[in-house]
């Protein structure tokens, strides 16, 4: 019983400790990877996508997509890609 209570406390603490990564829908992943790999390395693109999933929810990412369709690459996307090159 005591270990069960400790487990619940640990799980509650983990849930409150921060944001978990979103997993973007397959069509979003496919679109991002298609566009990204047209200009860069697949490994770097996957790394950038994972960094974005960890930091931004799908609604924020869709905002980035809208800006990219207009021809602007958001700083957040550039930063994620640059972090993967290090």
Closest CA to 57 of 76, 71, 40, 43: 76
Q: Which pTM value belongs to this model?
A: 0.71
Element (H, E) at 18: none
N residues, the chain: 86
At 48, list the tokens.
């950038």
Quick: pLDDT tens for 2-51. Answer: 444 333 343 333 344 455 678 899 999 999 999 889 988 899 999 999 99
């Amino acid at each position: 019983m005591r270990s069960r209570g400790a487990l619940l406390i640990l799980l509650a603490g983990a849930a409150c400790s921060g944001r978990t990564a979103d997993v973007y829908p397959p069509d979003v992943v496919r679109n991002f990877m298609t566009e990204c790999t047209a200009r860069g390395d697949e490994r770097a693109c996957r790394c950038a996508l994972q960094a974005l999933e960890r930091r931004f929810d799908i609604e924020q990412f869709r905002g980035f997509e809208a800006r990219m369709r207009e021809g602007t690459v958001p700083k957040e996307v550039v930063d994620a890609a640059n972090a993967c090159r290090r």
